[in-house]
Amino acid sequence: MQRNKMETNQEQEEKIFIKKDMIISEAVETYPEIVPALQETGVHCVGCHISSFETLEQGLSGHGGYSEKQVDEIIEMLNKLVRLERKEQ
């Protein structure tokens, strides 16, 4: 059965790749396609030594001044970017 080996489109569309408690450097290393979007949100420390200690939530809140709701929205947008990238491959 191929279904066991391949995710359905719906499963792929719902998959969460990025979580707000991920360390910035881990997220960027695993999903480099999110770098421009992070920089647009004010998180410019993607290559800085602090990115090895700071979570996405901390970076978005601290550097971008985003509320918890806004952080959740940005994380969802980053996941959509990753899903789109994976779908195109």
Going from the N-terminus, what domains does the chain have, and what CATH number goes with each?
Answer: 15-88 (1.10.3910.10)
In angstroms, how far is the first alpha carbon of the chain from the final one?
22
DSSP 3-state percent helix, strand, coil across the chain (nearest 5): 70, 0, 30
Element (H, E) at 78: helix 68-88
Q: pLDDT, tens digit, for every residue of 27-70?
A: 999 999 999 999 999 888 777 777 889 999 999 998 889 999 99
Residue among 72, 73, 71 nearest 59 (CA)? 71
3-class secondary structure, 37: helix
pTM attached to this predicted model: 0.81
